[in-house]
Amino acid sequence: MQSNSLNKQVKVRRTEAQWQDIMLSYKKSGLSQEAFCAQQAIATSTFHKWRQRLAADKSHDKAISEFIELTPAQPSNSGDWDIELSLSSTIVLRIRKMN
């Protein structure tokens, strides 16, 4: 009879940078997620958790980097202002301060 200690898997703690490397290796491997996880002895649930976390971080970083500072072309001395934001070729948002 085998001892329970032989059946237990050792939990490996990895850093975010290590998980990024693992995701790059997965993309290059051409394997399914299940096959890659089996080959690397990684729990599929942990793989999925880290894949989602890294994707969320990446989209958050991209969203932040897409902000740009806007300054008026000609400063207005009056309290009136107009804002026009072109969202697409067919959608324009206009905001006008009315006194």
- Domain segments of the chain as ranges: 4-96
Q: pLDDT value at position 54?
A: 87
Q: Which helix (H) or strand (E) holds 95?
A: strand 92-96
Whether pLDDT at 22 is above 80:
yes
d(CA 29, CA 42): 15
3-class DSSP state of 6:
helix
pTM for this predicted structure: 0.51
Measured between its terminal Cα atoms, the distance across the chain in Å is 87
Q: What is the mean pLDDT of residues 24-31?
A: 93
Average pLDDT, the chain: 79
d(CA 82, CA 92): 13
